[in-house]
Chain A
Amino acid sequence: MSFYSILRAEYKLVYSEMIRRRSALIAMILYPYLFAGFTLFFGYTMGSAEIFSRRIGVDPVIFMITASYTVMSVLASVDDVLWRPLSDTFIGTLPYIIASPVSRLKLYLAIPIPRLTALIVMGFTSIIPVYTAYYGLEGLLSGLVVMGLITLGCLTMITLAMVIAGLVHTIGESWRVLNIVRPLVMILLGAYYPRIYMPLIGYVLSSLIPSSHIVEVIHNMLRGELSNFYILIALAIALAVLYAPGGNKSILYWEKKKVREGVKTD
């Protein structure tokens, strides 16, 4: 059973849904602008752009559009893994997936990639035009590098999402817990709120999230610093690899619990 076949099937599933549900597609395109606009509006109402630039070292518009695009991409890949067991239960496909011999690690690694691809492409409608407008050709190149880094950031989140998914769904009433997990990941990622300003506990927890290191790389890059570039990237990848066995076990544990209780078939 090749990863390629599973990935191909997931692409078909996700893109058929996406194309046939136009509202979702439009929302996906508009999201970074809406979120960045919303945060900028509040930012300008309550604070000063200059102070922000001085403190963070990046223009607020660039920072916010990058943060919105990062959060949207990372959360989408996390969400796909976290919510998939629930949506399969609701649709009624779960018994057929559990009763299939497919490798759970391959399946869950493949699940977020199709939507992630679409989101990364959305970078051409969100960060690239803004970067180019601000910095010209150099902005275009920086935008492409940022898109690449975010892709890596999203991929490194999959195994951690698997660990969380298995645990959360084992507990039961998982949708309630997921609604708490989501904003937590959003904050700890450090995209809107750089983790160097977080309290120690926040900083420690944030360091356990693989893509938070990539976010730090992006922030450094926007500030014109390239210190620890490779170390942070290596750290993100190492964490993702470290979480992989746990992720697989977590999903299998949840499935075993389901089988002990009896997978609902009606």
Chain B
Amino acid sequence: MGEAIVVEDLAKTYRVKKRIRFLKSHIEVVEALRGISFKVRYGEVVGLLGPNGAGKTTTIKILATLLLPDRGEALIDGYSVVKEPNKVRERIGIMLTVEKGFYGKLSGRENLEYFAALYGLEPRRARERINYLVKLLELDKLGADYKLFEEYSLGMKARLSLARALLRDAPVLLLDEPTLGLDPPSARKIRDLVKDLARKEGKAILYTTHNMFEAEMVCDRILLINKGTIVAEGTPEELKSRVPMLKVVNLVVRGNKKVRGLIADYNVKYEVKTEASDLHTIRVYVEKPEEILGDLLKKFVRNGYDIVSIRVEEPTLEDVFIYFSREA
């Protein structure tokens, strides 16, 4: 299978005007992308995984010809997003924000008919395609033929949005957080469909998410992106195996003092989440847990903490992400 998306050294900087006082503002420079490179092959779902502000949407926008990069090149199906945007537009299906992007006073089917005309589908072909998609996404059962878009639930809006992305049967799909805020059945439906589109129809799919579980479920390969840089790349299994020898000690303690000071002495990577002000969940990444565990527990007890639970785990994709982000 050939390469559907080729991204080389893509960079984008935003200049944002920040108001600091009444009538006083300054320009803040935000480096959204710092020269990322990656490829997506036909028949493959590649996840762009990262926290908010990592550069996922900026990447999708550039590939969708909705934003110009400052540097670098991106090719879709062999066409440059900068030099040949109209060729690119004929070859992509996009799904951006789920809640918006349709005309409220039109039904789902009417909206799809409208966009089919904009995409240049002949009326007969458009009708056939819409019938197929409405069935595929089970929009017919939800009343897409008569219910107005403004009356749709978020799940239904997401399905309709995916239907629009698939209208042209484009070889490349760019899906920006397609399951954000959806109920579990709708999210599962979309995930299953995305997988099928790649496997059965050979589409190249770039799928952004910040949901680790979802990335692991859907994607053949994952690009971990943080602060505009791809920090790691590989299949979910490869990524996990690239955090070699590491185990995760999951420790839950109760106490009012500062936890971080106690762990800092060990020179290990760790994450602390505090709930209800005195309940702390600490995840410590170590090669040999037995070497520090006894000492660490003693230290917590000595400092007046109650040990609520302790577990040694294999790293999850989330741990992998935290590990690589810290490395970067």
Contacts and interface: CB of A to CB of B under 8 A. Distances in A.
Interface of A: prevailing SS: helix
29 contacts: A5-B120, A5-B123, A9-B117, A12-B106, A12-B110, A13-B103, A16-B105, A16-B106, A17-B103, A17-B106, A20-B148, A21-B105, A91-B100, A91-B104, A95-B64, A95-B96, A95-B101, A96-B115, A97-B118, A99-B65, A99-B89, A101-B86, A101-B89, A102-B119, A263-B67, A265-B96, A265-B176, A266-B96, A266-B100
Interface centre among A6, A9, A99, A100 (most CB of B within 10 A): A99
Contacts of A99: 64-66, 89, 92, 94
A92 B98 CA distance: 10
A263 B66 contact: yes
B186 interface: no
A57 to B, nearest CB: 45
Closest 3 CB pairs of A and B: A92-B100, A9-B117, A1-B120
A102 B118 contact: yes
B115 A100 contact: yes
Contacts of A101: 86, 89-90, 119-120
B96 A100 contact: no
A262 B101 contact: no
Interface of B: 14, 57-58, 61, 64-68, 85-86, 89-90, 92, 94, 96-97, 99-106, 110, 113-123, 148, 164, 176
Nearest to B99: A92
A6 B97 contact: no
Contact of B65 (A1, A21, A259, A266): A259
Contacts of A92: 97, 99-102
Interface of A: 1, 5-6, 8-9, 12-13, 16-17, 20-21, 91-93, 95-102, 107, 259-260, 262-263, 265-266
A8 B122 CA distance: 12
B113 A96 contact: no
B97 A98 contact: no
B117 A8 contact: yes
A91 B103 contact: yes
Given A17-B103, A92-B101, A93-B101, A12 B119 contact: no
B105 A262 contact: no
Contacts of A265: 57, 61, 66, 96-97, 176
Given A9-B114, A262-B66, A102 B101 contact: no
Given A98-B66, A263-B61, A263-B66, A9 B118 contact: yes
Contacts of B116: 9
Contacts of B118: 6, 9, 96-97, 100, 102, 107
A93 B117 contact: no
A91 B68 CA distance: 23
